[in-house]
């Protein structure tokens, strides 16, 4: 299973002081050297962490795959087309949220999202949709021409009991299989860490995991190179 590293929270730390350090572009370079197969950054409308300069330099320096997370707004769509990341992941966005709280409601916004996907495809940019593990959202994603889905694993990660966690895990497993049946690429992410990633990594229908906060948090103690390597080892080890 592939690992893409989200470097947003390196920028969060930088913005806490309003200076230049730490640099998320440097973090992306080190993550790639450690074995990450992709770099993820979220250019939010409020620019609370990643900014336009970061996106531009990441496009110039990332050697694996650059995934730009974004809301499907006119301004950010324009920036994405000017920057030409390898792929975009469309997510819902609210200014009040600390992090993305839910999946994109694809089934209720098919016409608009279909047009957005067509526009990105004109520029050879692949499109992933960040969705909750629900069958209507998976079907809608396939119907409007998405290349892949990213299954929101937040409820699994935040489950309060073993039974609840297993219930969410089964939903993720089932929706990953459905995505494959519908010829979609299947990624997953949100809230995954060194403790809970194992069962998700066992799901054969998931191609790639996007993990950020846990890796950046671990990097505070061991450095980003070791933090990425530790996560990659967990993704490669059979857990059962």
Residues designated as active site? 42, 69, 190
Full DSSP string of 3-20: EEEE-HHHHHHHHHHTSS
- Give the three-state DSSP class for 178: helix
Q: Which residues, in sequence order, are CB contacts of 126 under 8 Å at separation 6+?
A: 86, 87, 88, 120, 147, 148
User: In angstroms, rounded to a whole number, what is the distance separating the alpha carbons of residues 149 and 104?
Assistant: 10
User: In angstroms, rounded to a whole number, what is the distance separating the alpha carbons of residues 232 and 64?
Assistant: 15
Tokens of residue 64, six digits: 């694996």
Find the helix packing angle between 24-33 and 8-17, rounded to 10°.
Answer: 150
User: In angstroms, rounded to a whole number, what is the distance separating the alpha carbons of residues 126 and 113?
Assistant: 13
Tokens 């519908």 map to which residue?
Answer: 182
User: In angstroms, rounded to a whole number, what is the distance separating the alpha carbons of residues 5 and 229?
Assistant: 11
Q: Is the peptide bond before 22 cis (omega within 30 degrees of 0)?
A: yes
| Cβ pair 225, 33 in contact under 8 A | yes
């Amino acid at each position: 299973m592939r690992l893409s590293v989200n470097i947003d929270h390196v920028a969060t730390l930088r913005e806490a002081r309003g200076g230049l350090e730490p640099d998320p572009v440097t973090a992306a370079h080190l993550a790639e050297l450690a074995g990450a197969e992709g770099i993820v950054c979220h250019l939010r409308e409020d620019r609370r962490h990643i900014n336009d300069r970061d996106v531009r330099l990441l496009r110039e320096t990332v050697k694996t795959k650059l995934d730009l997370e974004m809301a499907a707004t006119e301004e950010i769509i324009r920036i994405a087309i000017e920057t030409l990341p390898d792929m975009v992941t469309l997510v819902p966005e609210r200014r009040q949220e600390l992090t993305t709280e839910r999946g994109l409601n694809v089934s209720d916004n098919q016409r608009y999202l279909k047009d957005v996907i067509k526009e990105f495809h004109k520029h050879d940019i692949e499109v992933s949709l960040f969705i909750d593990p629900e069958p209507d959202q998976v079907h809608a994603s396939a119907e409007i021409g998405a290349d892949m889905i990213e299954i929101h694993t937040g409820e699994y990660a935040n489950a309060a009991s073993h039974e609840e966690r297993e219930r969410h895990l089964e939903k993720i497993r089932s929706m990953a299989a459905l995505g494959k049946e519908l010829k979609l690429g299947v990624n997953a992410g949100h809230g995954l860490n060194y403790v809970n990633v194992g069962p998700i990594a066992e799901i054969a229908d998931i191609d790639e995991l996007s993990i950020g906060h846990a890796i950046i948090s671990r990097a505070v103690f061991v450095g980003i190179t070791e933090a990425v390597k530790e996560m990659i080892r967990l993704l490669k080890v059979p857990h059962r």
